[in-house]
Amino acid sequence: PIQLSRRVRSMALSKTVAVTDKAAALRREGKEVISLSVGEPDFLPAPAVMAAAREALELGLVKYTENGGTMALREAICEYLQRSKGVEYTPAQVICSNGAKQSLMQCMLALCGSGDEVIVPAPYWVSYTQMAGLCGAKSVIINTRADEGFLLQPHALERALTPATRVLILCNPSNPTGAVHPPELLEALAAVLRKWPRVVILADEIYEQIVFDEKHVAFATLPGMYERTVTINGFSKGPAMTGFRVGYIAASKAIAAACNKVQSQNTSCPCSVSQHAAIAALKVPKSFQEEAIANFREKRDYVLRRIRAVPGVTCETPQGAFYLFPTIAPLLGKRTPKGVVVEDSEALCLYLLDECHLALVPGEAFGDGTCLRISYAASMESLKEACDRFERGVSLLQ
């Protein structure tokens, strides 16, 4: 028999697989499944981005580029971060990869190994704990509370820090909760971190362009945090370029050089065509993003209103990203019309999929089995139908 590595054996298969597989099976049977489970905008990138991708082909930009991205792209990213976040980086501090996911993995490989602890506030994005595990590091989970808006509290951070802590991951705005940490809270977290100079902050700010009433503050701008913060960002969310696969880090020169080294042995440069398109994305007029935000806001408010009207469901008003993370705890323990007990969020999601052909992501995937995640990046028509199905599905539970 083939012996797989200990590393891979210790990895968990994504909790979303059961739901995704079932959704695919139902579709094969000809059922019309509505899926609010994917983490991507439902619109195309700006026309200038599509034109730049075509132009890249016409110009023959189809060869390897510099390992960490073309100078033109890295300069454009520096200019963007300066303009939009007020933080200064030079191109040597920016390393572009094939997506923020790759950037995160490379950072973790560059920063931590066995014996190290990685602090991950929960609910967390599915890959953080698995990435820490792949590096041999231990994840230390801090549970945040729905009634505190899923925000990381300074006293909770203080309790979790130890001499073994190497990395704090702060996803802001958050996937899955949509929580945006206000500036005063970030200041308070930075004040705690100043006492622990060895800890590096991986600030996953990939949703920074999608914020509603809060202002997004980049962690690297906080006093004393610049050298210790790795800003993770990319082109999948705001610019809606998921399939182009471009992400980046901006960090101190030493961390950037380490990530560049890891990437040089791993994948080399990101796709040349996508890099050319990414430069165009950074130059798209602000109105593109403003329109997207207005559209997301309307959808957020619609779905919020509908699900809050469902008995047993409560939900915070998220300030960013395009997810809702309602608490469904009062529904657990109820029975489906077929008599199956809804033990956890996964069981509820499988029931909604089976009976109502509605695909949502169970909260267990994000470390919280009392919630589920709804992505409202879908057409208004699908959202209306999805809310009808959700309402009906829940009303049939006894």
Q: Which residues bind ligand PLP (CB under 6 A)?
A: 39, 99-101, 125, 171, 175, 204, 206, 234, 236, 242, 247
Report the residue number, 108 or 313, with the smaller CB distance to ligand PLP.
Answer: 108
Q: Which is nearer to ligand PLP, 356 or 374 (CB)?
A: 374
Strands (E), 174-228: 200-204
Of 247 and 369, nearer to ligand PLP (C-beta) is 247
Q: Are 142 and 119 in contact (CB under 8 A)?
A: yes
| Least distance (Å) between residue 102 CB and ligand PLP | 6
DSSP single-letter state for residue 137: P
In the complex, what is the shortest distance from the CB of residue 129 to ligand PLP, in angstroms, rounded to a whole number?
13
CB of 14 to ligand PLP, least distance (A): 12
Residue 192 vs 232, nearer CB to ligand PLP: 232
Question: Nearest distance from residue 348's CB to ligand PLP, in Å?
Answer: 22
Q: How far is the CB of 332 from ligand PLP (least distance, A)?
A: 26
Q: How far is the CB of 231 from ligand PLP (least distance, A)?
A: 12
Report cis status (omega within 30 of 0) of the bond before 239: no
Give 198: exposed, middle or buried? Use CB within 10 Å, 0-12, 13-18, 19+: exposed
CB of 196 to ligand PLP, least distance (A): 24
Region class of 315: left (phi > 0), else alpha (psi between -120 and 50), else beta: beta
Q: What angle do CA 64, 109, 363 make, to 5 degrees?
A: 105
Q: Closest separation between CB of residue 313 and ligand PLP, Å?
A: 23
Report the residue count for the chain.
Answer: 398
Asked if 65 contacts 272 with a C-beta cutoff of 8 angstroms, the reply is: yes
Q: Which residues contact residue 145 at a Cβ distance below 8 angstroms, ignoring those fewer than 6 apart?
A: none
Residue nearest to ligand PLP (CB): 99
| 217: Cβ contacts below 8 Å, ≥ 6 apart | 85, 181, 183, 186
CA atoms of 306 and 371, how far apart (whole Å)? 16
Would you say 278 or 387 has its CB closer to ligand PLP?
278
All residues at 6 or more sequence positions from 15 whose CB lies less than 8 Å from its CB, including other chains: 126, 346, 362, 364, 365
The letter for the amino acid at 58 is E
**CB closer to ligand PLP, 39 vs 123:** 39
In terms of CB distance, is 105 or 394 closer to ligand PLP? Answer: 105
Which CB atom, from 248 or from 390, has the smaller least distance to ligand PLP?
Answer: 248
**Would you state the torsion angle of the CA atoms of residues 333, 336, 342, 345, taken in this order, to the nearest 10 degrees?**
-130
CB of 234 or CB of 363, closer to ligand PLP: 234
CA-wise closest residue to 381 among 278, 299, 316: 299
CB 105 → ligand PLP: shortest distance, Å?
Answer: 10
Query: Closest approach of Cβ 83 to ligand PLP, in Å?
Result: 21
* Residue 100 vs 111, nearer CB to ligand PLP: 100
77's tokens: 């990213």
Query: How far apart (Å, rounded) are the C-alpha atoms in residues 212 and 393?
Result: 30
